[in-house]
C-alpha cells in the first residue's frame, strides 16, 4: 500500500467519478471535500455562543475571541470553518435560532448558491497619449490592428477608452474624449468587428457611451460605479452590460491617503447599493459586472485583501472583473517599472481567478491566454 497527499482538486465530482465512486455518493462526498471559511463581523455575543455549539455539534468550528464565553462585549468578530456540507446544515439549523442567526442562515444560503462564470480575457486599448502604460496607447488604424491581434490571441472582450484614469490624471472634455474614440468606433462598426468580440467602452461620459453603443459596443465600463443614472438608462436602452467599479474619490484624489474601517465591508456595501439602483432602473443582475477597483483609492494592503477575498463578491450573482495589469501595487511589493511588471501581473490575476474572478482586464493578452490555459489544466 502506498499513500500520498492530494493537492487541490478543482472538479471534485469529476475526481470521484474517475475513481468509480457510486453515483449516489458522488454529490455527498464532493460537499465534504470543500472546506469553506466565512468571516463574520459584529456577530451578537449570544449568537456567537449558540453558533459555536451548533457548529461543534456537526463537526464544524467557529473561531471566536476568548471573551465570548463571558459575554464581555455585545458583539464579536468570528470565523466560521467547515465543509460545504457543514454550511448547508448550519444554513438550515440557524433558521430556528434567535439573536440574528436567521440572517446568518440566509447569508450562508446565498454563498452556497453562487453562480460560476467562464473565464474571459478583456484586452485594453487606450485612445489617448497619457495612460500610465505606454504600450496600451493606440490611435485609429493602429488601434484596429492591435484589436485584431488581441482577438486572435484570445481576448473575447476589448475595452476601449480615451481618457486616462491613472492617479492624478487630467480631466478631459466630453468633446475631446469623443474626438479621440470616434475614429475607432467608426471602423469597428464599418468592418463589423463586433461580430468577432464584445466591445466595451471605458467611459463615464453619456454622449461618448451612447456613440459607442450605437457603434455596436455592448458593454459599458464605468469607473464611477454607475453614479450617473443616465449611464444605467443607456445600458437598459441598448441591452448592454454595465461594469460597476468601486473607487474611493476621483482619479485626481483617489491615492491621497485612502482609508477604510473595513475595505471588504465598504466595497461590498457599495456594490449592494449600486446593484439595487441598477435593478430599480430596469438593469438585470445578469447584465452587471463588478470590479473592486484595484489601485483606485486603495493602499497595497487594501488591494491584497480584496484579491485574497475576491470569492466574496460572487455572492451578488454577477460576473467579477479583476484589473491589476502592470499597476503600481506590483512596484510596492518588488521595485519595477511598468514595462517590467508582466510577471507580477500574471501572479495577481491567476490568484484572482482562483479566488473567483471571471473577467481578466489586461494589456498582454497572449501571455494571459497561455497562463490561464495552464492554470485550468492544473486545477
* Residue positions annotated with a catalytic role: 327, 361
d(C-alpha 167, C-alpha 155), whole Å:
26
Q: Is 359 helix (H, G, I), strand (E, B) or coil?
A: strand
Q: Which residues contact 324 (CB under 8 A, 6 or more apart)?
A: 294, 295, 303, 307, 330, 345, 348, 349, 352
For residue 36, the surrounding DSSP H or E stretch is: strand 35-44
Contact 250, 296 (CB under 8 A): no
Residue 363, C-alpha cell as written in the block: 494589456
Say how many C-beta atoms besides its own lie within 10 A of residue 339's C-beta: 10
DSSP secondary structure letters along 90-139: HHHHGGG--TTHHHHHHHHHHHHT------EEEEEEE-SS--S-GGGB--
Angle between helices 300-308 and 342-354 (to 10 degrees): 40
Amino acid at each position: 500500500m502506498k499513500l500520498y497527499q492530494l493537492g487541490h482538486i478543482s472538479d471534485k465530482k469529476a475526481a470521484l467519478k474517475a475513481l468509480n465512486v457510486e453515483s449516489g455518493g458522488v454529490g455527498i462526498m464532493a460537499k465534504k471535500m470543500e472546506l469553506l471559511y466565512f468571516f463574520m463581523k459584529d456577530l451578537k455575543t449570544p449568537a456567537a455562543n449558540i453558533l459555536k455549539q451548533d457548529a461543534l455539534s456537526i463537526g464544524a468550528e467557529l473561531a471566536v475571541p476568548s471573551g465570548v464565553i463571558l459575554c464581555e462585549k455585545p458583539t464579536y468578530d468570528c470565523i466560521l470553518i467547515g465543509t460545504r456540507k457543514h454550511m448547508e446544515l448550519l444554513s438550515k439549523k440557524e433558521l430556528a435560532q434567535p439573536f440574528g442567526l436567521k440572517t446568518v442562515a440566509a447569508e450562508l444560503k446565498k454563498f452556497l448558491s453562487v453562480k460560476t462564470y467562464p473565464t474571459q480575457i478583456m484586452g485594453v486599448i487606450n485612445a489617448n497619449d497619457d495612460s500610465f502604460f505606454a504600450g496600451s496607447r493606440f490611435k485609429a488604424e493602429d488601434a484596429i490592428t492591435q484589436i485584431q491581434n488581441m482577438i486572435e490571441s484570445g481576448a473575447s472582450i476589448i475595452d476601449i477608452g480615451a481618457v486616462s484614469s491613472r492617479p492624478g490624471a487630467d480631466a478631459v472634455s466630453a468633446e475631446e474624449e469623443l474626438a479621440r474614440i470616434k475614429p475607432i468606433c467608426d471602423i469597428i462598426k464599418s468592418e463589423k468587428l463586433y461580430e468577432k468580440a464584445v466591445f466595451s467602452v471605458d467611459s463615464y461620459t453619456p454622449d461618448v457611451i451612447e456613440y459607442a453603443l450605437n457603434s455596436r459596443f455592448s458593454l459599458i465600463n464605468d469607473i464611477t460605479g454607475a453614479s450617473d443614472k443616465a449611464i444605467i438608462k443607456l445600458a437598459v436602452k441598448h441591452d448592454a452590460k454595465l461594469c460597476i467599479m468601486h473607487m474611493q474619490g476621483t482619479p485626481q484624489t483617489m491615492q491621497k491617503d485612502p482609508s477604510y474601517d473595513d475595505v471588504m465591508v465598504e466595497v461590498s456595501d457599495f456594490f449592494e447599493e449600486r446593484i439595487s439602483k441598477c435593478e430599480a432602473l430596469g438593469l438585470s443582475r445578469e447584465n452587471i459586472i463588478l470590479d473592486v477597483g484595484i489601485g483606485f483609492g486603495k493602499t497595497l494592503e487594501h488591494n491584497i485583501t480584496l484579491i485574497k477575498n475576491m470569492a466574496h463578491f460572487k455572492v451578488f450573482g454577477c460576473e467579477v472583473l479583476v484589473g491589476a495589469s502592470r499597476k503600481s501595487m506590483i512596484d510596492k511589493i518588488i521595485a519595477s517599472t511598468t514595462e517590467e511588471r508582466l510577471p507580477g501581473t500574471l501572479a495577481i490575476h491567476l490568484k484572482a481567478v482562483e479566488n473567483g474572478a471571471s473577467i481578466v482586464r489586461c494589456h498582454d493578452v497572449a501571455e494571459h491566454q497561455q497562463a490561464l490555459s495552464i492554470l485550468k489544466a492544473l486545477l
